[in-house]
Amino acid sequence: MNSAKVFEKLTLPNGSVIPNRIAKAAMEENMADADQAPSPELMQLYKSWADGEVGLIITGNVMVDARAMTGPGGVVLEDDRHLDRFKRWAETGRSRGAQIWLQINHPGRQMQANLGQKTFAPSAVALDLGKMSSRFAMPEAMTEDVIADVIRRFSRAAQLGEQSGFTGVEIHAAHGYLLSQFLSPLANRRTDVWGGPLENRARLLLEIVTAVRAKVSPGFAVAVKLNSADFQRGGFSTDDARRVVQMLNHLAVDLVELSGGSYEAPAMQGQSRDGTTLAREAYFLEFARDIKTVARMPLMVTGGIRRRAIADQVLDSGVDMVGMGTALAINPHLPRDWRLGKDVAPEHPPITWKNKTLASLANMAVVKFQLRRLSRGGSPVPKVSPLWAFVLQQAATAWRTRQYRRWIAQRSAPKSSITAASDLPAPRTN
């Protein structure tokens, strides 16, 4: 086993170089400032990862539409009003040589109703979260004009990201958000050119990738985050994922990150809804090995990786990058520790609550608890009570929800160059 592979450089198809094979995968921080722009706390958090010698930093969700938020406190990039803050964010991420990519996203139907915005999705199909389903509104099916607006927004966000000094973007087409909804036959019941066979369900993703690539320079990385599967019976399957990667082979994509799941089946946390047993670590490696047989671009696997031996195993299997989230929230200097020969494997105690939806929310709350501590210059507390973290997160979310609703109500919103359809109801939705 090549134990040094973790610290080998990776040259992407566009010719740019990632200094090692460890990526800080996207985690949703919800740390925007009062303008929904990058905050000083966010800079401090990303400085921790840059100092920790990670090779690639992928930001948490950056929303392409202020009316379509994965959560309150999310960063929005739809015009050039706050590019100075985005430039500082990019400089912070690049300060030790890492590449930093914006993860650009639209939530579709995965946007909480209490944010007060109209929800859009491929079809009028509600989220099924049992007793918590009422937290999410029934979405409206997107019109052709709304779809065209979304495509413009993704490409404009990528263009603004490059102007700000980011080295790439990752288009989020996983975890049940808008593009993942289009790919899913459960969420996408359309009978037009955007629905039906996989080629049609993948059309929005492919058009967005094409539009983004047309707006940025050749050396700017364009990546896609894709579910290896939805882990729901009748949903987006591994065979579907393999075929989508074959479609992406022709579009100058620099990397595909494989993850899995959605709000309904949070496989990205090691849970599934279709009876699939996910390994304790490297959840999606088995699927990646299969997809690697057809992929012409580098692949990255994210999900549960926290030990050097597992990272080595992933890379030795032929996967090109190891993505880590929770482990780097607990120890942001993990890559440096591994390079120095320290055998560390950060983890939280497992959450074994019977209510799987609440357990999933508690798991995210525990991670966000660590991110908040890092953003204030503190140290993580891996053994924090999940109940305490959950209560704190609920309080913070309630406060940020009120802040967001005030902000969007007061927004004068002059017509932006990116949307001739800015008076359209907002499409909404990691």
> Which domains, ranges and CATH numbers included, belong to the chain?
5-410 (3.20.20.70)
User: 302 with 284: CB under 8 angstroms?
Assistant: yes
Per-residue confidence (pLDDT) for residue 1, from 0 to 100: 40
Low-confidence residues of the chain, pLDDT below 70? 1-3, 229-234, 260-283, 412-430
Predicted pLDDT at 422: 42
pLDDT of residue 421: 41
As given in the structure block, the two tokens for residue 410 are 């007061």
Q: Alpha carbon 122 to chain centroid distance? A: 19
CB hemisphere CA count around 411 (13 angstroms): 17
Contact at 8 Å (CB) between 153 and 62? no
Give whole-number Cα distances, 215 to 152, 253, 357, in Å.
10, 14, 39
The pLDDT tens digits for 304-318 are 888 998 899 889 989
Give the amino acid at 46: Y
DSSP H helices in 62-202: 83-94, 144-164, 178-183, 198-201
Whole-model pTM?
0.90
Q: What is the pLDDT of residue 270?
A: 43
pLDDT of 129 reads 73
Q: Report the DSSP beta bridge partners of residue 32.
A: 38
